[in-house]
Every structure is written in C-alpha cells, then in structure tokens.
Amino acid sequence: MKILVTGAEGFIGRNLCLRLIETGYNDLIKIDRSAGPEQLKSAVENADFIYHLAGINRPLDDSEFGIGNHGLTQQIVDILTANKRKTPVMLSSSTQATRENLYGASKAAAENAIFSYAEITGAEHYIYRFPNVFGKWCKPNYNSFVATFCHNIASDLDISINDPSAAVTLVYIDDVCSELLSLLKSKDSGFQSVEPHYETTVGEVADLIRSFKDSRQTLTTESVGQGLSRALYSTYLSYLKPEQFSYSVPSYGDQRGVFCEMLKTKDSGQFSFFTAHPGITRGGHYHHSKNEKFLVIQGEAVFRFEHVILGDKYEIHVTSDEYKIVETVPGWSHDITNTGSSELIVMLWANEIFDKNAPDTIARPLA
C-alpha cells in the first residue's frame, strides 16, 4: 500500500510517518515544501491513500494562505480527478475554518475542495479541524504555545502570558497519530475528531510545565501516568538538551553507609535506597501509620521485628537472589543488619513523604 504524506517534515508529519513505519507501512511517499509540480503529480497518481497535512499558517505574505492551503489541496484533487482516481484523502484543517479570517477562509476552501472531489468520485474523505496539537518535535515560537513554554522553561528562558485564564483545547500528538492510523482500516467519511481532547487554560499549562522543571529540585513529581499531565510531561522532556538528560539527587552518608532519596509523589509516597557496611544495623524504630517496603538488591541481611506492646519477635533472612519484598507493619519495631561480607544495598518505598515535623518514626532499638 503506497501512502502519500504531504507535509511529511512537519510536526504531525514526522510523528505520523514514524508511527506508520512502526505499524508496518513501509511504502511511504513523502512530500514537503521543496517538492515541485511534477514530483507532486507523480506522488498523487501513485498513492493508495493520502494524508494531506501540508499547509500554511505563518506566511510571509497573506496571499500564501490561499496558495498553501486551498491551492495545494485543489492541485491534489485535480490530479486525482483527471486520472479518474478515487483515492481516500485525509485533510488537516483547523478550528479556524469557521472564523472570518484569511487563514480560516483558506482552510474552509480546502475543505470544500475535498467535499467536491468526494462528490464527483465517491472517494472516502476525512476532515479534521484540529485544535491545538502538542507533543514532541513541535517547533517552538511558531504555532504552538505549548512547544514555546516547554522550550523556554527547559532552557531557563522567560515565557509571556497575556491572560492566564484564557481557555484552550488541546490534543496530544500520539492520540492524533493513533486516530489517523485508524483511517487505514476504514471509517465513515466526513468530519472527524480526535479523542481525548483536554479543556484547560494557558496558565494551568504553564504552571504544570514549571512543576516538571521544579521536580528535579524538590524530587516531588506530579501525577504523570495518565491524561493531560502524562502528555505534557512527555512533551516537556522532549525539549531537554542531551546534557540535561541526567541530574543529581542528594545523599547522606555516615559510618553506617549512605541514604539517598530518589523520587517523591504527592499521593503515593517516595522511593529511596540505602547502603550498609558489613555488620552494620540500621533502623531500630517503629511507626504508627507509615508503611515501608524493602527490597535487597545487593548482599544479604536479616530483618528483625518486635511488637512494641506484646514483645513478640520475628526475623526474616533475605539475600539479593530472592527478590523478596519485606514490609514493615505499624506497631512493630524493626531494624535491618548486613549479615554478608560485602556492601548491602536496599531499595525502599514509603507510602508517604517524610515530614520532619511529623515523622511518625519513634526510636525503639531491638534487644
């Protein structure tokens, strides 16, 4: 299947072409703004499906709106019609198509060209009036405020916000690409939409992106596993320079070993690790509510427990070969001793962030 992608070197085009190849569509015909009339004609004549993403939204002259949006679309459908082709066409339009401005008018005219082509030939056609699309590889200081915010904040540059409360509708590039890929398995023709879309404000987006940057100092991450936060976090990371791919976290060492905090969350606790030299015991305290999970990843150790009221005792011997989680239980004092001959390294998750003003950590050494 030969798939033509116009605007292949643009933001959506690059992401879509990569996804097409990943899905097994390797016979791509890529057209960008450097293509001449004959190259375009050959590409259109040989395509079995057309993703028409190319367009103009930041022209040097207003006349380019009509040439780059309606004009290019008309060229494509004229070639198809002249060759009696009924190739399916997807058109990247804009929410501006309903507004009275030159850009919107050029997009509306492009839509009409597609509808006329479909009426004449019976071809399948899909029109997307995209709102603000954001994601990796979008050019900052161009047509996406999200790209500009991510680039500037990652680069320690100021951002300008005229109205933080201004409402915006966003769609994420991965969701756009998934939607466009679904067209190859056939959908009903006409206007289409991308889901999910996110209703938010300019100020909320800026605050969230700033929090991603700040998390390297606070070690506290936002909830970035789903929804808008996940998509914005991925987008922000894509604007980091290679020298920003790593960062240091604080560690605290003494005669026993090292303790290092890695990551904190607002509602799911924190991750740390510690080391202990041979023969060293760490801990000797209990909690009323706090819970911890330990995983020995190097060495061997014994975990000791003692009920603070009943005095019951229990021991668990663990080596790094077992991949066994040892869990602390409220009301039981506990410690851990390195029983091996090498450095002990233990991963630690606590269900809450340590609060020095309310540590819920009461010293009670085990006998």
- Note whether 257 and 277 are within 8 A (CB): yes
Token pair belonging to 224: 């970035």
Cα 212 to the chain's mean position, in Å? Answer: 12
The span from the CA of 288 to the CA of 173, in Å, is 46
Report the interhelical angle of 202-218 vs 145-154 (nearest 10°): 20
Specify the pairing of strand 313-319 against strand 3-6: unpaired
The span from the CA of 289 to the CA of 352, in Å, is 10
- Note whether 153 and 159 are within 8 A (CB): yes
DSSP string, 212-276: HHHHHHH-EEP--SSHHHHHHHHHHHTT--GGGS-----EEEETTEEEEEEEEESSS-EEEEEEE
Q: Is residue 350 helix, strand or coil?
A: strand
**103, 117, 198, 286: which one is catalytic?**
103
* Catalytic-residue membership of 103: yes
| Residues acting as catalytic residues | 103
